[in-house]
Amino acid sequence: MIQKLRNEENDELFSAILKLESIEECYMFFEDLCTVKEIESMAIRLHAAKSLLKGETYEKTLENVNISSATLSRVSKAIKYGDGGYKKIIEKCGNK
């Protein structure tokens, strides 16, 4: 699945992200790169993924996270059938 995203521009973007060294640098870069709504959407998806990976139900996650059921379904499908990106980053962050 990773291969469908792989191209020179995406490699350059991800390499740039890997060079960020602080939360402040992340805010600076992502505020230039994305809209506020896009950043909020990514943060909400990560929060929902954490909830699902902790074993929370769809209903509980919908109660606790400001996310649509369609987006939650997409997050759930990524967890079940994706490349494990959500699980990997949540493990690396200590599942905070």
Structure tokens at 25: 């640098």
pTM of the model: 0.88
Coil/strand/helix, residue 23: helix
Q: What is the pLDDT of residues 40-85, one digit of tens each?
A: 999 999 999 999 999 999 999 999 999 999 999 999 999 999 999 9
Coil/strand/helix, residue 34: coil
Distance CA 50, CA 96 (A): 8
Task: Kindly tell me the number of DSSP H helices and DSSP E strands found in the chain.
Answer: 6, 0
Q: What is the pLDDT of residues 7-27, one digit of tens each?
A: 999 999 999 999 999 999 999
For the chain, domain boundaries = 1-33, 35-96
Distance CA 58, CA 2 (A): 26
